[in-house]
Chains A and B, each alone.
Chain A
Amino acid sequence: MDLVTAPATARDPATASPADGTFVVDLDGFNGPLDLLLALIRDEQVDIYDIPVARICGQFLSRMHELRLNEAAEYLEMAARLIRIKAQMLLPRKDGLDQWEDPRAELVRRLLEYQQMREVVDVLEKLGEDRRNRFGRSYLAQAAAPPPAPLALSLSDLLVAVDRVLRASRKPSIHEVIPRALDVDGAMETVRAVLQLRAHARWRDVVRAGAEPWEVLSGLLALLELAKRSELHLTQPRPFADVEIRRELAGEAA
């Protein structure tokens, strides 16, 4: 393969302009840098396996400029890649020609892959267009779930239902809500009774296991109230441990 030399870059970019009728430049016509690159290669009728990088690179840059794609990062990246390959192509090769790795190889692989995909796109486009031109019973792509079947009802069904409702409503079940006020005084008596027998007690001695919420609350409030009145002393060795209740010596004296 020959090295591509600098004069190729001097080629007038106008040769690839829309004026020569190769194709009409459409700002939205390119689906990315690979697409633009493939179009250039097609226009220039060059061999994809032996891309004259310097020439194509120059055209890529001028086309980018024409299309005002200068700011599109993807095009810039491709431009940088092309320039790098161009530079690598210009480097003198070592004697062992066999070991020379074509710097264009990766680009060629990607272009071929892209071209292959474009062929699939052509196939899909044709298939999709064929299908688009036929309407099904529901032409929407996403069919809705079938509606629930209409109800099959007779008058007698309706009357039976009404009867059932009326029968049920004759016996209204009235639920009576019984207020369960807290019985702090009662709980205080319990605590006092326990502490009269023993100097030490635990939470479990004051509130029985399985107590109703109101009993638990009453017991807690009773303990706090008695502690406030200095009748007992509450300690908890560590969080969530059983609360220890001790008869307050001062309270005993009083």
Chain B
Amino acid sequence: MNSLAKLLEAALFASPRPIPTDELAALDAEASPAALQSALDELREHYDVDGHGVELVDVGGGWQVLTRPEYTEAIERAQLAVRPTRLSPAALETLAIVAYRQPIGRAEISEIRGVDVGAVIRSLHERGLIDVVGRAEGLGRPLLYGTTPAFLEQFALRHLEELPRVDELAIALRKAGDPGVPVAEPQPA
């Protein structure tokens, strides 16, 4: 590895959070963006080709060194680290709606899910996955919610555009009023 790749490795090791490319650039003022990118590629290849227990992942708008999934069970069994708790289906549904419709208010989320979402919103807010991004016009000026960088990180997304576009979802292909389109196909679990 060249010295820039080693420097990046050290910085990524020292940081507890993903580091965006522009912050990595601050490590070496002399390095061009191209040199930075090739150093990142070299580091990633180094982990992949030489067979390391960790890998370089582009996640949540930045680069992060993460352990490979195959070692998770063993690490957790030895109680060296604990996986974060899974989100409940209700929380995931709410998060999905916020991710696609942000900024969105509580009433609108409730309307789509068909249930009250006050408690779920509170817990998502406490977990730092959504945040208040403004207030709607109109009666009571309700709070509007949006997703946070922690949301991207938790789902290993680089940016929101990495989520499937609405027209890529199977259901969107069916237009309302299309007669005789069977929908009752088995859901992929």
Which of A's residues lie within 8 Å of B, judged by CB?
31-35, 41-42, 44-50, 74, 78, 105, 108-110, 112-125, 127-144
Contacts and interface: CB of A to CB of B under 8 A. Distances in A.
Given A32-B115, A42-B187, A109-B176, A47 B69 contact: no
A102 to B, nearest CB: 9
Given A49-B177, A134-B67, A128 B154 contact: yes
Contacts of B83: 132-133, 135, 139
A48 B184 CA distance: 7
Contacts of B18: 136
B144 to A, nearest CB: 18
Given A32-B113, A119-B170, A133-B69, A124 B95 contact: yes
Contacts of B182: 45, 47
A132 B84 contact: yes
B176 A108 contact: yes
Contacts of B183: 41, 47-49, 115
Contacts of B57: 134
Nearest to A144: B16
Contact of A110 (B69, B114, B172): B114
Given A46-B184, A123-B164, A34 B169 contact: no
B38 interface: no
A229 B69 CA distance: 95
Residues of B in contact with A, size category: 35 or more
A35 B93 CA distance: 11
Given A32-B113, A120-B99, A115 B67 contact: no
B65 A137 contact: yes
A143 B17 contact: yes
B100 A112 contact: no
A176 B27 CA distance: 57
B62 to A, nearest CB: 11
A123 to B, nearest CB: 6
Interface in B4-60: 13-18, 57, 59
Given A113-B112, A124-B95, 14 more contacts: A31-B113, A46-B184, A49-B178, A49-B180, A74-B115, A109-B176, A112-B174, A119-B170, A127-B157, A131-B153, A131-B155, A134-B69, A135-B75, A135-B83
A100 to B, nearest CB: 13
Which of B90, B97, B113, B178: most chain A Cβ within 10 A? B113
B136 interface: no
**Majority SS of interface residues in chain A?**
helix
Given A112-B176, A114-B113, A127-B156, A134 B66 contact: yes
B66 A122 contact: no
A42 B184 contact: yes
A139 B81 contact: yes
Which of B17, B72, B116, B178: most chain A Cβ within 10 A? B17
B138 interface: no
Given A48-B184, A136-B16, A131 B176 contact: no
Contact of A120 (B66, B100, B127, B157): B100
A49 B171 contact: no
B132 interface: no
A110 B89 CA distance: 19
Contacts of A132: 83-84, 86
Contact of B92 (A115, A125, A138): A125
A139 B84 contact: yes
Nearest to A48: B183
Interface string B143-175: 000000010011111000001101001111010
Contacts of B135: none
A137 to B, nearest CB: 5
14 contacts: A31-B90, A31-B93, A48-B184, A49-B177, A49-B179, A120-B96, A128-B92, A128-B155, A132-B83, A137-B13, A137-B15, A138-B17, A139-B81, A141-B128
A118 to B, nearest CB: 7
